[in-house]
């Protein structure tokens, strides 16, 4: 077994995890902490969906929660520089993908790490984790992980990437704005309890994962259109009924949660974030329209030589 092997989210969706031996997925799987062997054997075609793992919920230090934004300032500066570099790589990768129908390996590795860094910082800012995120893009020890599977791309989909991605980009922007609007309440809850409630954590994880899938799609890290905003189905029971116990030589149990199955409360919170984001967008558009109308009236009055009264 390769020393570079690791547990990854099962891309077939039948189990929580599947062992990656460094070259391919194997028949070793896990569900709810139990190791099994998939009777179907090694999977064939692997779906290209982007997966995100956030680790287990733990108690948080109230001091770090209270000053979270201040503590994150160095990361906010660093992420700006990293994002500018990523934009250059995306442009180069876009031209390469038009010619070769896939993202160059070096570009895929860098953009994967950029998306993972964004997710780690968002998880830290949204109080999903108390661990301070690493600045190193290649750090593999932090509990928040992103798994991408770059592969063949449709050239037409690459050519019109921005057009195709615009609907989900707008949706992700609404969700992000709604979550940001709600963060003062989230901050008070975590500060008072010293822990993120499970239902709230599920909802935030769903939003952050959807954003990761959206930006990963725009960066051509996947050909799969972003989905799964309201979580994943829970198909593991039927698969486990016919699975075989794992041998003693199988890999150790995976340390982090995998599939994101949302409860009813978490789904309602996701909807609330979306509604708040839409309302915020509408309010901003109305406000901008009124400002534009006022500026237009002021310019017209000046041209006509009329006195301009200050707005009340």
DSSP track, 17-54 = EEEE-SSSEEEEEEETTEEEE-TT-S-SS-----EEE-
Average model confidence (pLDDT) for the chain? 83
Residues contacting 62, CB < 8 A, separation 6+: 191, 194
Can you state the percent helix, strand and coil of the chain, rounding each to 5?
Answer: 55, 10, 40
Confidence category of residue 289, pLDDT binned at 50, 70, 90: confident
pLDDT at 9: 73
Collapse the DSSP code of 255 into the 3-class scheme (helix H, G, I; strand E, B; otherwise coil) and give the result: coil
Segment among 2-6, 127-131, 289-293 with least mean pLDDT:
2-6
Which carries the bigger pLDDT value, residue 68 or residue 255? Answer: 68
pLDDT at 2: 45
Q: For residue range 23-32, list pLDDT tens digits in order.
A: 778 888 887 6
Q: For residue range 157-173, list pLDDT tens digits in order.
A: 999 999 999 999 999 99
Can you say how many angstroms the Cα of residue 121 is from the centroid of all Cα atoms in its chain?
11
Beta-carbon count within 10 A of 43 CB? 18
Which carries the bigger pLDDT value, residue 84 or residue 297? Answer: 84
Segment among 116-130, 165-179, 196-210, 294-308 with least mean pLDDT:
294-308
Q: For residue range 194-207, list pLDDT tens digits in order.
A: 889 989 999 999 99
Q: For residue range 36-63, list pLDDT tens digits in order.
A: 888 877 777 676 788 888 877 788 999 9
């Amino acid at each position: 077994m390769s020393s570079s092997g690791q547990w990854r989210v099962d891309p077939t969706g039948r189990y929580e995890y599947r062992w990656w031996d460094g070259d391919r997925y194997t028949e070793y799987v896990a569900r709810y902490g139990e190791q099994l062997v998939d009777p179907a054997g090694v999977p064939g075609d692997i779906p290209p969906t982007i997966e995100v793992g956030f680790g287990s919920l733990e108690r948080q230090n109230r001091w770090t929660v209270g000053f979270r934004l201040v503590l994150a300032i160095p990361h906010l500066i660093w992420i700006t520089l990293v994002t500018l570099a990523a934009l250059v790589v995306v442009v180069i990768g876009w031209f390469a993908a038009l010619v070769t129908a896939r993202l160059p390996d070096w570009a895929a590795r860098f953009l994967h790490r950029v998306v993972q860094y964004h997710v780690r910082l968002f998880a830290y800012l949204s109080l999903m984790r108390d661990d301070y995120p690493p600045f190193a893009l290649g750090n593999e020890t932090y509990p928040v992980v992103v798994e991408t599977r770059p592969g063949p791309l449709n050239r037409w989909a690459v050519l019109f990437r921005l057009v195709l991605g615009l609907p989900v980009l707008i949706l992700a922007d609404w969700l992000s704005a709604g979550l940001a609007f709600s963060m003062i309440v989230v901050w008070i809850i975590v500060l008072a309890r010293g822990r993120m409630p499970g239902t709230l954590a599920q909802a935030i994880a769903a939003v952050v994962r959807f954003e990761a899938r959206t930006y990963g799609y725009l960066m051509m890290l996947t050909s799969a259109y972003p989905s799964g905003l309201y979580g994943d189905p829970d198909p593991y029971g039927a698969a486990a009924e016919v699975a075989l116990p794992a041998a003693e030589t199988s890999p150790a149990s995976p340390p982090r949660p995998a599939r994101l199955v949302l409860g009813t409360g978490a789904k309602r919170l996701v909807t609330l974030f979306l509604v708040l984001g839409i309302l915020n967008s509408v309010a901003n558009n109305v406000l901008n329209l009124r400002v534009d109308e006022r500026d237009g009236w002021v310019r017209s009055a000046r041209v006509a030589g009329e006195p301009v009264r200050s707005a009340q």
